[in-house]
Structure 1
Amino acid sequence: MKKVILLLTLLLMVSCSTEPKPIAYGTDACDFCEMTIVSEVFSARAVSTKGKQFKYDAIECMVNDLQQKEVEMAVLQVADFSDPGKMIDVENAFFIINDSINSPMGANLAAVNRKNSNFKETEVHSWDSLLDHFLQKDSPGTNSER
């Protein structure tokens, strides 16, 4: 009986892990827009405190999805535009919005690692200012287009 309880406890602990799972590019679908995730420079992922995995084809999909969810997240990561395939925590990223960036959902948004970046903080968004930017963009009474 003790072995069964130990095994069940172990299974519960493994299933609730907040360790992010890798994105299977070309196979996994975005949890927001349902498009296949193909780009290693625009993708994002999140893990809830209960271990639920979320994968996104674009940073803007993650931002929009988080605005709609009432789920506490343990992990929020984005692809490093300057190092394809590498994921970085949102708190360690600068977010660039520029017309020359063709992100999958059209927000012209990419992230770069703060530690390896030549950008000044005034030229880019932090995670919090990016969330504010998207909230203002979607607020009633603004003149933004979608």
Structure 2
Amino acid sequence: MQRKLSTRFRAVIFMLSLAMVAVLYFPIWKIELAAPQYPEGLTLKIAANGLRGDVDIVNGLNHYIGMQTLHTEDFIEFKILPFILGGLAVLGFVVCALNNRKVYYGWVVLFLLVAVVAMVDFYRWEYNYGHHLNPEAPIRVPGMAYQPPLLGYKQLLNFGAYSIPDVGGWIFIGVGALLVLLSFKFKKGFFVVAGLTLGLQSCSSGPAPIRYGQDACDFCKMGFTDKRFGAEIVTKKGKVFKYDDVHCLLAALKAGGQEVGGIWFLDFTDGQWIKAEDSRLLHSTAFHSPMGSDIAAFADSVHMKEFNGESLTWKGLYR
């Protein structure tokens, strides 16, 4: 085995080192809490240098069940983690400069060791906060612990808790996986890097497909059956609310509770999504929409002219 690294190999390592720098600027992990009283959900984000998200609200809830409140300054991890992650990035650049395969393998081992220690420390933190409760708390459930899941879903009283990597965490996981892969076969790793890059470029926060026969309207709770009608609210946090009729969409907006990031309609003619502000709306009794609004959305006026009715705009409809 050659001790030197190929130019292409070093170029990929350089890009992965840059990706590690990006981890410092994105949340690494997040815990999402879902409950009926919080339709938007609550999110606790963990970044390299502190806590983000709905920290104050979560702390208020923690008070009632006896959990300690969360403060960035209470965790030594937030003081040293930026240096550890930054050090891993710098070591990647050093590997490129030294051009030595043994140094590269040492970097990979150190990277994986940091990942394992971080997850063990995270579990320890979750365990302490979930089990060491204030006995004088207003709400006490004998034998109940509130440790969030390390990864995945767990029910905690009336809250559903989801613990998953955030943007920075996925970058870290991707870099680690590719480093291991590159240790065995460079060419395969190169194509994986290219595939992941293209995949990330194609990601966007937009509407979600409607699963007919499975999904139900988030307002009237009726199942989706007519593929010509449908609307969605995508919140600023990326959560999607689905509606089977413009009537339900307007009622949900009037009720409030969502931080609206975007509104989308299904095109009456081809079922493609259209941004509300770009749509052309038509009210016609010939449509027979699911909840009686009889309003259909079109991407252009050409197809809309095939039907008789009253032309509307989203701005005029939603005041």
- Specify if TM > 0.5: yes
SS in 2 for 1:64: helix
* Structure 1 residues 101 and 48, CA gap change in structure 2 (3 angstroms): same
Q: Is the 8 A contact 2:282 2:304 kept in 1?
A: no
Candidates 118, 142, 166, aligned match of 1:12: 166
Aligned partner of residue 71 in structure 1, secondary structure: coil
Aligned to 1:141: none
What residue number does 1:88 align with?
274
1:71 CA displacement: 2.3
Per-residue deviation at 1:111? 0.9
Q: From the superposition, tell whether residues 48 and 13 of structure 1 become closer, same or farther in structure 2 (CA, over 3 Å).
A: farther
Please list every run of 5 or more consecutive structure 2 residues that lacks an aligned counterpart in the other structure. Answer: 1-19, 30-46, 48-163, 169-203
Question: For 1:94 and 1:6, how far apart are their aligned partners in 2?
Answer: 39
| Structure 1 residue 118: Cα displacement | 5.1
The offset of 1:77, in angstroms, is 0.5
Q: Which runs of 4+ in 1 moved over 4 A?
A: 115-119
- The answer as to whether partners of 1:18 and 1:74 remain within 8 angstroms in 2 is no
SS of the residue aligned with 1:32?
A: coil
Give, in whole Å, the separation in 2 of the partners of 1:103 and 1:118: 16
Of the three residues 4, 24, 36, the one matched with 2:211 is 24
Unaligned runs of 5+ in 1: 133-146
* 2:288 maps to 1:130: no
Hey, what does 2:222 align to over in structure 1?
35
1-structure distance, mates of 2:224, 2:266: 12
Shift of 1:37: 1.1
Counterpart check, 1:73 vs 2:227:
no
Question: Which amino acid is 2:229 matched to?
Answer: F
**More relative contact order, 1 or 2 (CA 8 Å, 6+ apart):** 1
Report if aligned partners of 2:212, 2:224 keep a CA contact under 8 Å in 1: yes
1:101 counterpart letter in structure 2: F
- What is the CA deviation profile of residues 61-97 of structure 1, one whole-angstrom value per residue up to 9, with x for unaligned ones? 11111111142211211111121x2111111111111
Partner secondary structure for residue 28 of structure 1: coil
1-structure distance, mates of 2:256, 2:167: 24
Name the CA distance, whole Å, in 2 between partners of 1:118 and 1:78: 14
Identity of aligned residues (%): 33
Tell me the SS of whatever aligns to 1:46: strand
Q: Which has the higher helix share?
A: 2
Which amino acid in 2 is paired with 1:104? Answer: P
Contact between 1:37 and 1:57, CA under 8 Å: does it hold in 2?
A: yes
Q: What SS class does the counterpart of residue 60 from structure 1 fall into?
A: helix
Aligned equivalent of 1:105, options 278, 281, 291? 291
Q: Is the 8 A contact 1:18 1:48 kept in 2?
A: no
Distance 1:13 1:112 in 2: 35
Residues 26-57 of structure 1, C-alpha deviations (whole Å, 9 max, x = no match): 11010000000122211111111022210111
Structure of higher CA gyration radius? 2
Partner SS, residue 124 of structure 1: strand
